[in-house]
Amino acid sequence: MGSGKKVARRDNAGSLSRKGLVLNYPQSLSSIERSQTGTVAGAIADLADPMVVTDRLTKRYGDFTALSNCSLSVARGEIFGLLGPNGAGKTTLIRSLLGFLRPTSGSCSVDGFDPMVDGVGLRSRVAYLPGDARLPRHMRGAGVLTFFSEMHPCGDVDRSLRVADRLELNVKTRVAFMSTGMRQKLALAVVLGLDTPLLILDEPTANLDPTVRAAVLDLVVEARSRGRTVMFSSHVLSEIEETCDRVAFLRKGELVRELMMSELFQRHRVTAKTTSVSAPASISVPDSLADRVRVSTITRANQELLCIDTDGDLSPMIGWLDSLQLVGMRIEPLGLRAVYDSVHMGGEVVV
Ligand SMILES: Nc1ncnc2c1ncn2[C@@H]1O[C@H](COP(=O)(O)OP(=O)(O)OP(=O)(O)O)[C@@H](O)[C@H]1O
């Protein structure tokens, strides 16, 4: 492979665009400093000195608002999930953060850099996996890894090769002859090989089999344990649930809910058959539990069930639940699915 710099071209934001996968590098290597965050994995989000801040960030295309007044912060060292249906504005938010889109109004910063003021400096702090990563088809996997690791100041080809190995990718294969999943693995090896303070992954596990998905999630968690901050979007609720410390829900361009995963794990749903004594109207909730319990009905497999959603420690509720003499009682963690349904489809759960 020849020198990548000869074939690369810069766009006016200083990014490297080589017919596909877009990574970014600064004009000057001396502007790079390694992250010294060292945040403990899974720690409560410390938002005193956040890695990412958006303030009423808005992006409009003509009359259409793709992102509306979005204000959020991502703490250093946390894994922050972005959830939302197709077209919710996740990619718009990510690309605005990176300076690829100019906001209509509002502002944002990454590690103290404003993308509209110093996009190059900002992008030197970030490794970004686009949702539609495309790679030079004529190159072999190893060549692609070398190319991008030489281009980025935080690159290290040995690290990229180790990631490729973890993902069981044959890097001798030409990109043109790779399957969709193999190309995704290669793009991941490029991005995860860059030792930047922030990692932004747009649907990183798309097109991957379950074993490789698990390996990718392990790599994400390892990145956090080395003090890196990770933002990632996914449509797979279980992987957000397993991996993220906090999650934001976007709907029609609006940030509608933020949730700490530790909060979610404190929520449970109790279901039971509806009988004359277990109809919602007959259930009396003690005052001590009133603000942590919500009683309703749901329909599952054409059967109406009594549904009790609880928030917080279950142990003080066990005696009360027992006193209700419910038939066919099941207790399950509420899970992200229920929250997602509640936020996006007007489900029964109030969260
Ligand atoms: N250049 C553009 N011009 C007009 N509308 C656009 C443009 N780019 C994006 N949009 C619209 O903005 C909205 C948000 O798109 P975005 O790609 O951010 O969604 P997303 O949440 O990432 O979706 P997905 O989960 O499908 O990737 C969509 O309705 C999309 O059609």
**Is pLDDT of 201 > 60?**
yes
Cα 172 off chain centre by: 31
Is 350 among the domain residues? no
Calculate ∠ Cα 258-296-277, nearest 5°.
150
Same domain, 316 and 183: no
For the ranges 69-78, 130-139, 307-316, 341-350, the one whose mean pLDDT is highest: 69-78
Among protein residues, the one with the nearest Cα to ligand 1's atom 30 is: 87
Q: What mean pLDDT value characterizes the chain? A: 83
Question: What is the position in ligand 1's atom list of the atom closest to the CA of 235?
Answer: 25
Q: Percentage of the chain with pLDDT > 70?
A: 84
Domain end: 237, 262, 287, which one? 262
Instruction: Report if pTM > 0.80.
Output: no
- Which pLDDT belongs to residue 346? 54
Residues 135-191 pLDDT 10s: 999 999 999 999 999 999 899 999 999 999 999 999 999 999 999 999 999 999 999
Among protein residues, the one with the nearest Cα to ligand 1's atom 10 is: 66
Q: Is the CB of 278 under 6 A from ligand 1?
A: no
Q: Is the CB of 200 under 6 A from ligand 1?
A: no
Q: What's the structural domain count of the chain?
A: 2
Residues 69-81 pLDDT 10s: 999 999 999 999 9
pLDDT tier for residue 296 given thresholds of 50, 70 and 90 = confident
Question: What is the position in ligand 1's atom list of the atom closest to the CA of 84?
Answer: 21
- Which pLDDT belongs to residue 345? 64
Q: Is the CB of 194 under 6 A from ligand 1?
A: no
- DSSP-H helix ranges across the chain: 4-7, 90-97, 119-123, 141-151, 157-166, 180-192, 210-225, 237-243, 261-264, 315-323, 335-345
pLDDT tier for residue 38 given thresholds of 50, 70 and 90 = very low
Same domain, 276 and 251: no
Among protein residues, the one with the nearest Cα to ligand 1's atom 26 is: 86
Phi-psi region of 77 (alpha: psi -120 to 50; beta: other; left: phi over 0): left
Q: Is the CB of 70 under 6 A from ligand 1?
A: no
Same domain, 291 and 247: no
Same domain, 65 and 152: yes
Q: What is the mean pLDDT of residues 214-219?
A: 95
Same domain, 60 and 92: yes
CATH, residue 177: 3.40.50.300
Domain end: 209, 234, 262, which one? 262
Q: Using the mean position of ligand 1's atoms as its centre, give its distance from the Cα of residue 87 in Å.
A: 5
Among protein residues, the one with the nearest Cα to ligand 1's atom 11 is: 66
Residues 235-256 pLDDT 10s: 889 899 999 999 999 999 999 9
Is 344 among the domain residues? no
Q: Using the mean position of ligand 1's atoms as its centre, give its distance from the Cα of residue 340 in Å.
A: 20
Q: What are phi and psi of 2, to 5 degrees?
A: -75, 180
The per-residue DSSP string of 252-290 comes to TTEEEEEEEHHHHTTEEEEEEE--SSSSGGG----GGGG
Q: Using the mean position of ligand 1's atoms as its centre, give its distance from the Cα of residue 66 in Å.
A: 6
Same domain, 216 and 196: yes
Question: What is the position in ligand 1's atom list of the atom closest to the CA of 131?
Answer: 27
Is 60 among the domain residues? yes
Q: What is the mean pLDDT of residues 52-61?
A: 97
Same domain, 123 and 233: yes
Substitution candidate for ligand 1 out of 68, 91, 200, 207 with most atoms within 8 A of CB: 91
Q: Is the CB of 89 under 6 A from ligand 1?
A: yes
Query: Predicted ipTM?
Result: 0.97
Same domain, 238 and 281: no
Phi-psi region of 214 (alpha: psi -120 to 50; beta: other; left: phi over 0): alpha
pLDDT tier for residue 226 given thresholds of 50, 70 and 90 = very high
**Is pLDDT of 4 > 60?**
no
Between CA 170 and CA 285 the distance in angstroms is 60
Range of the domain at 110: 41-262
Q: Kindly give the pairing relationship between strand 79-83 and strand 229-233.
A: parallel
Q: Is the CB of 64 under 6 A from ligand 1?
A: yes
Same domain, 301 and 174: no
Q: Is the CB of 90 under 6 A from ligand 1?
A: yes
Between CA 327 and CA 200 the distance in angstroms is 47
